[in-house]
Amino acid sequence: MTRIKPLLSAAVALLLAGCQSTMPPLPTVASVDLKRFMGDWYVIASIPTFIEKGAHNAIESYRLDDDGSIATTFTFRAGGFDGESRRYTPRGRVLDRQSNALWGMTFIWPIEAEYRIALLSEDYSQTVIARTQRDYVWIMARTPTIAEADYQRLLRFVGELGYDTGKVIRVPQQWP
């Protein structure tokens, strides 16, 4: 029994060491005016989570509540413009009060997902939301479409962050 404890401890230590990310830190913007950031953001492209695959007309909406948390509503049509309407309401929490650019987003308590505002245009019209693990990313804008040159610039930025841009999928947006 005395030999099993050290072996078990070593195995656990190796397992935990293997779980640590070797990715370099992911930057955020220096400062976010939360009140300006609130409102609707159209998802232009993403490396989607499993719930977003096949999303059409995806919009992420934010509202700053009195307690400082961020009420979030994510809506889209599943599989097509006439697909079933989906709605999710995670809650955001600012983790870095100096910049307001690092949030935790809770879909199911107590699991909190990292949400980093990695890029934000000066006029608050375009943003890139990223994660240190480079598994998911969102390119969003205040309008349902953006100029191709802007899209390519944002996609290059995503690549510079260390993402595989071949996994980025444009989200179809079609509004009356």
Give the pLDDT score at 65: 97
**Could you tell me if residue 15 is inside a domain?**
no
Collapsed DSSP state (helix, strand, coil) of residue 39: strand
The two structure tokens encoding residue 12: 């656990």
Q: Which domain covers residue 64, as residue numbers? A: 25-170
Number of structural domains (the chain) is 1
Q: On the CB side of 113, how many CA atoms lie within 13 Å of its CA?
A: 16
Burial 3-25 (b: 16+ CB within 10 A, else e): eeeeeeeeeeeeeeeeeeeeeee
Q: What is the pLDDT along the chain (176 residues), one digit of tens a residue?
A: 444 443 333 333 333 333 445 677 799 999 999 999 999 999 999 999 999 999 999 999 999 999 999 999 999 999 999 999 999 999 999 999 999 999 999 988 888 999 999 999 999 999 999 999 999 999 999 999 999 999 999 999 999 999 999 999 999 999 98
Which helix (H) or strand (E) segment is 116 a member of? strand 111-120
**Could you tell me if residue 10 is inside a domain?**
no
Give the pLDDT score at 19: 42
**Could you tell me if residue 135 is inside a domain?**
yes
Query: CATH number for the domain including 152?
Result: 2.40.128.20
Give the pLDDT score at 22: 64
**Could you tell me if residue 5 is inside a domain?**
no
pTM (predicted TM-score):
0.86
Give the pLDDT score at 21: 52
